[in-house]
């Protein structure tokens, strides 16, 4: 990753110095090695804190909504998964393709600091990626771990290592797609009884503190005024005081992003309560795939979405419910 | 000592969203033909089945509905030409999703009823009411504040 980081920094400096772009969206050093944070760099001098390492899981594309409206071009670093969100934002007219310079970057899967902690590794100071292994240095020494065991869950099921959009790329090594089937858990839930599913979701959703992080991070949740910011929505804007509100918020949010969610995995990644939100979105993705043909949001920046199109022979809702739809 | 409780027979609250052009007219025809459907079916008239936002369905449950049925023109006969085709996709996905969350699938339904199908309207409603009655009260998708003190 080190070589990728150096090259990225070099390109950022060149683009800013030449005036080709007015700003670069990347990551900067956080308080610790393992918490780099998305950042906007407006001059080459600011690039001191620029980083790109195994903890840069954040999808930067949503920052474009605000940043690319400013004067001048905006350059952005996108991992393969982030490039799907980019296309989706272009498709929904949230950003303009011509205002942005896309630099496609290498990603070998991002790490989950919580999983490292579970392995007894804390106070991480540096991580070296070495094929299927990661060499983690911390204040307490150095350990080598199997990478698959410490990946972010969104990376375990990485859908593609192909950038869907780019103006240039910084990729030195071949990238491996995720190894796990992303619908495995959805299928498990589907196989449960209604009562079991209800119990599962009740337990999960009752943990929700309505911090709105899932919504705020989501590239598909780009509404200027969200329905849940409307006091008449019937859902309190802060902590939920009934089970219904928990369900309502999550059902409606999942429905709003149905057919638009690229499965970027950000909602689950940021949830402080570890609610498996991707299992909500993936149900819609799975149903859309089976009922209306395989569809991956963000694969292209144009065309129709499953919920804004139809065919005359679409399955009947009652057949879908009775499992009789093809 | 045996506790004596008065056991009231359960009559479900049913919300039926009916499109103005077909299903609502179908309901009208049922009425004027003196065909009956249970009084606990509360019809909400919408311009098109496509007007029904998923939030409406959830709100109905929140306010104490035990079952929600959505009725529109038969596919191909929509007054606005294509509205119900969108409804069909939307409701297939929404209802399937509600079931995934553990909501009993018998509580939700979509039926196409034309303006000429008064008898069908009445039959559909009777059948749906029967189905929800057998299922019992909606407890999984209800706002406790609303049902309190009922
Ligand atoms: S991020 Fe998690 S806790 Fe916060 S609102 Fe979303 S689901 Fe709830
Ligand atoms: S719902 Fe979650 S996975 Fe889907 S686009 Fe939004 S943040 Fe990404
Ligand atoms: S929850 Fe719905 S209304 Fe709110 S931001 Fe997301 S898509 Fe928009």
Q: Does residue A326 surpass a pLDDT of 80?
A: no
Place A233 in a pLDDT band, splitting at 50, 70 and 90. Answer: confident
With CA atoms as reference, report the closest residue to B23 among B132, B120, B131: B120
Cβ neighbors of A100 (< 8 A, separation 6 or more) are: A64, A68, A73, A74, A75, A76, A86
Pick from B65, B88, B96 the residue to mutate for testing the A interface (most A CBs within 10 Å). Answer: B96
Residue B100 in domain? yes
Q: Containing domain of residue B39, as a range? A: 15-147
Question: Which A positions 49-68 lie with beta carbon below 8 A of chain B?
Answer: none
Tell me the mean pLDDT in the region A218-231.
92
Rg of chain B (C-alpha set): 16
Quickly count: other Cβ atoms within 10 Å of residue B117's Cβ: 22
Q: Report the distance separating Cα B38 and Cα B16, nearest Å.
A: 12
Ligand nearest to the CA of A94: 3
Element (DSSP H or E) covering residue B116: none
Cβ neighbors of B127 (< 8 A, separation 6 or more) are: none
Of B62, B92, B100, the CB nearest to A283: B100
Q: Report the distance separating Cα A2 and Cα A54, nearest Å.
A: 10
Q: Using the 8-state DSSP alphabet, how is residue A21 labeled?
A: -
Cβ contacts of A305 on chain B, cutoff 8 Å: none
Ligand 1: distance of its center to the CA of A150 in Å? Answer: 23
Average pLDDT over chain A, rounded to whole?
A: 93
Element (DSSP H or E) covering residue B124: helix B118-135
pLDDT value at residue A7: 97
Q: Using the 8-state DSSP alphabet, how is residue B74 labeled?
A: P
How do residues A8-55 score in pLDDT, each as one tens digit?
999 999 999 999 999 999 999 999 999 999 999 999 999 999 999 999
Cβ-based burial of B22 (10 A; exposed 0-12, middle 13-18, buried ≥19): buried
Question: Which B positions 9-28 lie with beta carbon below 8 A of chain A?
Answer: none
Tally helices (H) and strands (E) across chain A. Answer: 12, 9
Residue B6 in domain? no
Of B96, B100, B109, the CB nearest to A189: B100
How do residues A122-155 score in pLDDT, each as one tens digit?
889 999 988 889 999 999 999 999 999 999 999 9
Of B97, B100, B110, the CB nearest to A318: B110
SS3 B125: helix
Ligand 3: distance of its center to the CA of B131 in Å? Answer: 34
pLDDT value at residue B150: 46
Cβ contacts of A242 on chain B, cutoff 8 Å: 143-145
The answer to whether the Cβ–Cβ distance between B97 and A317 falls below 8 Å is: no
Cβ-based burial of A270 (10 A; exposed 0-12, middle 13-18, buried ≥19): middle
Pairing assessment for the beta strands A100-105 and A74-78 based on DSSP bridges? parallel
pLDDT value at residue A39: 97
The one-digit pLDDT tens for each residue of chain B (150 residues) are 455 555 568 999 999 999 999 999 999 999 999 998 899 999 999 999 999 999 999 999 988 999 999 999 999 999 999 999 999 999 999 999 999 999 999 999 999 999 999 999 999 999 999 999 999 999 898 887 766 544
pLDDT value at residue B103: 95
CATH of the domain at B66: 3.40.50
Residue nearest to atom 3 of ligand 1 (CA): A208
Q: Report the distance separating Cα A294 and Cα B146, nearest Å.
A: 41
Q: Report the distance separating Cα A181 and Cα A162, nearest Å.
A: 18
The answer to whether the Cβ–Cβ distance between B58 and A252 falls below 8 Å is: yes
- Structure-block tokens of residue A244: 């219904």
Of the two residues A228 and B144, the one the predictor is more confident about is: A228
Q: Report the distance separating Cα A218 and Cα A106, nearest Å.
A: 22
Pocket test for ligand 2, best of A85, A281, A288 (most atoms within 8 A of CB): A281
Q: Is A242 on the interface with B (CB under 8 A)?
A: yes
Place A236 in a pLDDT band, splitting at 50, 70 and 90. Answer: confident
SS3 B97: helix
Is the CB–ligand 2 distance for residue A83 below 6 Å?
A: no
Ligand nearest to the CA of A280: 2
Residue/partner pairs of A29-34 with CB below 8 Å, 24 or more apart: A32/A123, A32/A124, A33/A124, A33/A125, A33/A126, A33/A127, A34/A111, A34/A113, A34/A116, A34/A124
Which ipTM score applies to this complex? 0.93
Q: Domain total for chain B?
A: 1
Q: Report the distance separating Cα A184 and Cα B2, nearest Å.
A: 50
Is the CB–ligand 3 distance for residue A248 below 6 Å?
A: no
- Structure-block tokens of residue A127: 């991580």
The answer to whether the Cβ–Cβ distance between A317 and B103 falls below 8 Å is: no
- Structure-block tokens of residue B99: 């079931």
Residue of B nearest to A194 (CA): B102
Is the CB–ligand 3 distance for residue A215 below 6 Å?
A: yes
What is the secondary structure of A275-316 as a DSSP string? --THHHHHHHHHHHHHHH----TTSSSSS--GGG---TTPPP
User: How remote is the C-alpha of A305 from its chain's centroid?
Assistant: 19
pLDDT value at residue B148: 54
Question: How distant is the Cα of A164 from the closest Cα of chain B, in angstroms?
Answer: 27
Backbone angles phi, psi at A164, to 5 degrees: -85, -15
- Structure-block tokens of residue A67: 């940043």
Of the two residues A95 and B36, the one the predictor is more confident about is: A95
Which atom of ligand 2 lies closest to the CA of A260?
5
- Structure-block tokens of residue A13: 């400096």
Count CA atoms closer than 13 A to A126's CA, side-chain side: 7
Q: Is A305 on the interface with B (CB under 8 A)?
A: no
Residue B1 in domain? no
Residue B25 in domain? yes
Cβ contacts of B92 on chain A, cutoff 8 Å: 287, 291, 314-317, 320, 325
Q: Is B58 on the interface with A (CB under 8 A)?
A: yes
The answer to whether the Cβ–Cβ distance between A248 and B105 falls below 8 Å is: no
Pick from A188, A317, A318, A325 the residue to mutate for testing the B interface (most B CBs within 10 Å). Answer: A317
Q: Does residue A114 surpass a pLDDT of 80?
A: yes
Domain ranges of chain A: 1-109+160-179, 113-150, 181-326
With CA atoms as reference, report the closest residue to B144 among A177, A75, A233, A246: A246
């Amino acid at each position: 990753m080190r070589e990728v980081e150096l090259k990225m920094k070099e390109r950022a400096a060149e683009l800013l110095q030449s005036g080709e772009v007015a700003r670069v969206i990347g990551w900067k050093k956080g308080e610790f090695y393992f918490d780099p944070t998305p950042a906007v760099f407006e001059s080459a001098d600011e690039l001191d804190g620029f980083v790109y390492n195994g903890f840069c899981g954040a999808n930067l594309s949503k920052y474009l909504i605000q940043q690319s409206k400013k004067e001048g071009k905006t350059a952005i670093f996108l991992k393969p998964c982030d490039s799907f969100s980019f296309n989706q934002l272009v498709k929904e007219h949230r950003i303009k393709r011509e205002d942005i310079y896309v630099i496609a970057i290498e990603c070998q899967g991002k790490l989950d600091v919580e999983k490292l902690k579970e392995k007894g590794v804390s106070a991480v100071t540096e991580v070296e990626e070495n094929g299927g292994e990661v060499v983690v240095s911390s204040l307490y020494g150095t350990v080598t771990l199997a990478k698959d065991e410490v990946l972010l869950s969104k990376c375990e099921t990485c859908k593609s290592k192909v950038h869907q959009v780019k103006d240039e790329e910084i990729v030195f090594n071949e990238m491996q797609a995720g190894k796990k089937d992303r619908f495995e858990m959805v299928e498990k839930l589907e196989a449960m009884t209604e009562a079991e599913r209800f119990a599962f979701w009740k337990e999960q959703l009752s943990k929700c503190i309505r911090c709105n992080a899932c919504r705020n991070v989501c590239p598909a949740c780009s509404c200027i005024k969200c329905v849940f910011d409307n006091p008449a929505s019937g859902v309190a804007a802060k902590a939920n005081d009934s089970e219904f509100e928990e369900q309502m918020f999550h059902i409606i949010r999942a429905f709003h992003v149905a057919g638009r969610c690229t499965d970027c995995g950000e909602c689950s990644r940021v949830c402080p309560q570890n609610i498996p939100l991707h299992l909500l979105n993936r149900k819609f993705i799975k149903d859309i795939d089976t009922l209306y043909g395989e569809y991956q949001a963000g694969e292209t920046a144009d065309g129709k979405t499953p919920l804004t199109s139809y065919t005359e022979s679409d399955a009947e809702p009652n057949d879908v419910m009775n499992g009789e739809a093809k | 000592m045996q506790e004596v409780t008065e056991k009231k027979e359960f009559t479900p609250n049913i919300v039926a969203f009916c499109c103005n052009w077909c299903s609502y007219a179908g309901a009208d025809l049922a009425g004027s033909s003196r065909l009956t459907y249970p009084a606990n079916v509360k019809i909400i008239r919408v311009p098109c089945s496509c007007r029904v936002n998923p939030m409406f369905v959830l709100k109905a449950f929140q306010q104490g509905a035990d079952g929600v049925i959505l009725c529109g023109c038969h596919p191909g006969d929509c007054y606005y030409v294509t509205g119900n085709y969108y409804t069909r996709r939307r409701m297939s996905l929404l209802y399937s999703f509600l079931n995934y969350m553990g909501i009993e699938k018998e509580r939700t339904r979509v039926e196409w009823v034309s303006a000429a199908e008064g008898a069908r309207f009445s039959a559909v409603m009777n059948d749906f009411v029967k189905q929800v009655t057998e299922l019992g009260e909606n407890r999984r998708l209800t706002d406790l504040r609303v049902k309190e003190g009922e």
